[in-house]
Structures are given as C-alpha cells and as structure tokens.
Amino acid sequence: MTETSGHRKIIIGCDHAAYRLKEILKNAMEEKGLTIIDAGTYTEASMDYPDIGKAVAGKVSSGEFERGVLLCGTGLGMSMVANKYPHVRAALCNDLFSAVMSRRHNNANILVLGGRVVGDILALEILRTWLETPFEGGRHQKRLDLFDEI
C-alpha cells in the first residue's frame, strides 16, 4: 500500500460489526508508514455506531484530519452519520469502481466500508485504491463547490 497525496495521518473508526476489519486495515496502513489514529471501537462488544461516526467525521469536518476511514456492518449507518457534517464527503465503497470514482470525481475525504459486505482482501484493495487515486478537480471541483450552497 503506497500513499501519494500527502495524507499521511488518517483517523479510523468502526463499530463492533467491523472491529476485525478495522484491525486488518489499520495494520496494513501502519505497515506502510501511515500514522493511524484509532477512534475505536476497541472490542467486538455491541455498541452504537453514531458515537464513532461522530468522532471521526467531526475531526475531518474541522480539518484536523484530511482523511478518515469508517467501518460498520454495511457501511450505511456510518455514511449517514458522517455526511451530516459540513465539508465531509463520505463515500460508501464496497467495490473498486466506487473507490476510484469517489476520489476522482467526488474528492471523498472519508472512505466507508461494510465489514459484513466485503471480504478482507477486497477491503484492503479498496483502501489502497482509495488512498492512491487523486481528485481530478476541474468541472468536478465546480460541482463540489455547489455543496456549500446546500
């Protein structure tokens, strides 16, 4: 897993349904020299995903972190929570094409994955792709600027 666009510090969080996957993705990123801040959860005990979604999305929204990763069972709940925050563009990418396009066209700053949807190897590949794919800017930036009017 290489990393090309300067975002070397990443905040990651999950609920109990994706705890195992979070550990796998965290280790993979750390092995590649990225600094990972783990916002929890730290066990497989049942918990409420909005609490972790808020912790991660809040820090991306404020600019403290350029990029974040959120995981839950489907990825749906974490996406819904994260996208309530200004300046957060959280993309649920349980496939590679979405991961590429969420970066190229949407400049997604939070990757969301469903730990009960994707296998470990696919998740690693989606994460690697998402970290390495640049935003294309241009007409896509103009469209993202329109978000601020909402």
| Catalytic sites, residue numbers | 72, 105
Instruction: Look at phi and psi of residue 87 and say left if phi exceeds 0, alpha if psi is from -120 to 50, else beta.
Output: left
Residue 22: name the closest of 148, 113, 94 by CA.
113
Q: In Å, what is the CA distance from 70 to each residue of 9, 104, 118, 148, 149?
A: 14, 19, 14, 23, 26
Residue 81 as a binder of ligand RB5 (CB under 6 A): the answer is no
Choose which of 73, 100, 125, 136 interacts with ligand RB5 (CB under 6 A).
73
Instruction: Point out the residue whose Cβ comes nearest to ligand RB5.
Output: 77
Residue 47 as a binder of ligand RB5 (CB under 6 A): the answer is no
Residue 96 as a binder of ligand RB5 (CB under 6 A): the answer is no
Using the rule CB under 6 A, give the single segment among 5-13, 21-29, 69-77, 137-145 that binds ligand RB5.
69-77
Residue 117 as a binder of ligand RB5 (CB under 6 A): the answer is no
Q: How far apart are CA 148 and CA 13, in angstroms?
A: 26
Give the interface size with ligand RB5 as a residue count (CB under 6 A).
8
Min CB(34)–ligand RB5 separation in Å: 24
| First-last CA distance in the chain | 36
